[in-house]
Amino acid sequence: MCRPPAARESRAMEIVRVNGLRKAYGGRPAVDGVSFGVEEGEIFGILGPNGAGKTTTVECVEGLRTPDSGTVEVAGLDPVADHEKVTRLLGAQLQESELQPKLTVREALELYSSFYERPADWRPLAERLGLVSKLGDRFAKLSGGQKQRLFIALALIGDPRVVVLDELTTGLDPRARRDTWQLIEEVRDRGVTVLLVTHFMEEAQRLCDRIAVIDKGRVAALDTPAGLIGRSTASTVISFTPSGPLDERDLAALPQVASVTTTDGRIVVHGTDETVTAVISLLAGLGITARQLRVSETSLDDAFLDLTEERL
């Protein structure tokens, strides 16, 4: 859930700063002039379509890739030139990771703890992430979701000031996903800055203080979740199943309609409060009943599509 503006205004510094970042592969730009700052103690989200440059951006923050141009700073340090220092204050859960197949969960946690002078106690982490019953299991025997939870624990075990989480809850079931969200909120409340790459709009809307939408290697928008939703071309979503034939063009001609779509006979209209009244009046005039009528506010999902739709 977003922190109130007053909390964000009180933060004194940006702990992560990306300025004019560019990175190309084979002559094709993956990141093309990305700039943003992450304030200390916030959860900063990065959203974007597949191939938009999200992972390349955070890999430059982690020091795993060297930018072609532009600058990246973590607590005033260069992640490449000062890589050893940065690894002491930054934890990372990568989009794709592997461990030795025969390494047990306990051995992995103990091994990673040994890398740090003052590691966090891995036992509460293991308990919080549902790994206690798996401590004796080898990595190769873990399910995809269990591996994901282990990598989250390993990202936090160094008690970092900044943690980068790339596709945090991919592979987790709904209950494990929500438990993980609560853990990340607790981590943030302890003062850790979180840089979160995600495809889950609900996840971003719940967790993030601010979000950068990256599309085709550029920042298409940067705002709070509420601010991004406010940019959407429509503020209200009306969905229903008509009791009889209905021409989409009649709906599209109504006041303030941004879009009309039909899927498996169910119609979804994006518009405003004014559109709701107009839709109901139209249906009444045609003698059509709106079955399973639902009216809701525009979501971050809708705002994301608005911001990236033309390029998609």
What is the tens place of the pLDDT at every residue in 206-253?
Answer: 999 999 999 889 998 999 988 887 776 666 889 999 999 999 999 999
Name the DSSP class of 230: H
pLDDT (0 to 100) of residue 309: 53
d(CA 112, CA 120): 10
CA atoms within 13 A on the CB side of 114: 6
pLDDT single digits (tens) 256-276? 888 899 999 999 998 888 899
Chain region(s) in the chain for CATH 3.40.50.300: 14-226
Give the dihedral sign, CA 149/150/155/159.
positive
* DSSP single-letter state for residue 120: P
Give the mean pLDDT of 164-191.
86
Binned at pLDDT 50, 70 and 90, residue 312 comes out as very low
**pLDDT (mean) for 50-54:** 89
**What is the mean predicted confidence (pLDDT) over 185-191?**
90
Tell me, what's the pLDDT at 95?
79
Contact 170, 97 (CB under 8 A): no
Give the C-alpha separation, 238 to 272, whole Å: 9
Q: What Å distances lie between residue 256 and 196, 248, 252, 260, 289, CA to CA?
A: 35, 15, 9, 11, 22
Q: What does the pLDDT average to over 139-162?
A: 92
- Contact by Cβ (8 Å): 214, 311: no
Question: Which residue shows structure tokens 């990372």?
Answer: 92
pLDDT, average across residues 33-42: 96
For the segment 91-119, what is each residue's pLDDT rounded down to a tens digit? 998 877 899 999 999 999 999 999 998 99
Q: What is the pLDDT of residue 197?
A: 94
Q: Is the pLDDT of residue 44 over 90?
A: yes
Q: Can you give the pLDDT at residue 306?
A: 67
Question: pLDDT band for position 49 (50/70/90)?
Answer: confident
Strand residues in 229-302 grouped as ranges (E): 236-242, 259-263, 266-271, 290-297
**What is residue 51's predicted lDDT score, i.e. its pLDDT?**
86
**Cross-strand partners of 238:** 269, 295
Give the helix/strand (H/E) hosting 212: strand 210-215
**Res 5: pLDDT:** 42
Cα–Cα distance between 150 and 142 in angstroms, integer?
10
The CATH 3.30.70.980 domain(s) of the chain lie at: 232-310
| pLDDT at 4 exceeding the cut of 90 | no
pLDDT for position 77:
97
**Closest C-alpha to 92, from 7, 184, 172, 155:** 155
* Topology at the third CATH level for domain 14-226: Rossmann fold (3.40.50)
197, 55 Cβ separation under 8 angstroms: yes
pLDDT for 65: 95
Pick 299 or 102 by higher pLDDT: 102
Which residues neighbour 103 within 8 Å (Cβ) at sequence distance 6 or greater? 111, 138, 139
Can you give the pLDDT at residue 12? 52
What mean pLDDT, rounded, does the chain reach? 88
Q: What are the residues whose beta carbons fall under 8 Å from the beta carbon of 177, sequence distance 6 or more?
A: 169, 200, 203
Higher per-residue pLDDT: 233 or 160: 160
Residue 302 pLDDT: 67
Arithmetic mean of pLDDT, 21-49: 94
Return the CATH architecture of domain 232-310.
2-Layer Sandwich (3.30)
Q: Looking at beta carbons, which pairs linking 242-250 to residues 24 or more positions away fall under 8 Å? A: 242/267, 242/283, 242/288, 242/289, 242/290, 242/291, 243/288, 243/289, 243/290, 243/291, 244/286, 244/287, 244/288, 246/283, 246/286, 246/288, 250/282, 250/286
